[in-house]
Amino acid sequence: MANEVQNGTAVLHGITDDGSPISMEGYATFILESAKGGHKFKLDSVEDEVGFDKALIATNAHVELDITWMPSGATRAAAAATAVFLTPLAQVTLDNFKVAAFNGDWIYVGDQSIDLSHGVAKMSLKVRKYDDATQNSSLSTTVVG
């Protein structure tokens, strides 16, 4: 598809890819509706003798990403076959988002939904990626044995 036309100051418009189609492991075909990320962390505060914060301590930093899409396929049956729930804590690999922070190995942390209505079916998924690469790799790998 052709890009939108912009005049003046350039802006990030739509859910753009990096030149290759966006991919989401486990879902062969889909039409993205939204991808919204939020940076989170555990925050502890140390107070002085009169209750004022004296130090702030942030740990366990991570990004949570909420993705909403429409299952699709070459046929209605193929589209329906993509409407599946993931295994808890499954690794989900996202690739080719223009916003590089959205790419990589993520962990499914619950709240997946399949919404059927009188309109187009929609699915949503919450995934997490830790700021620390070692922590993220460890937690996105299933323990076996």
Task: With H, G, I as helix, E, B as strand and everything else as coil, classify residue 10.
Answer: coil
At 17, is the pLDDT very low, low, confident or very high (cuts 50, 70, 90)?
A: confident
Range with the lowest mean pLDDT among 25-29, 77-81, 83-87, 113-117? Answer: 25-29
Measured in whole angstroms, the distance separating CA 6 from the mean position of its chain's CA atoms is 27
Measured CA to CA, the distance from residue 53 to residue 125 in angstroms comes to 36
Cα 98 from chain centroid (whole Å): 13
Question: What topology does CATH give the domain 23-139?
Answer: Elongation Factor Tu (Ef-tu); domain 3 (2.40.30)
Q: Considering only 19-23, 126-130, 141-145, which range has the smallest mean pLDDT?
A: 19-23
- Dump pLDDT digits (tens) for 46-78: 999 999 999 999 999 999 999 999 988 889 998
pTM greater than 0.85 (yes/no): no
Q: How far apart are the C-alpha atoms of 66 and 52, rounded to whole Å?
A: 35
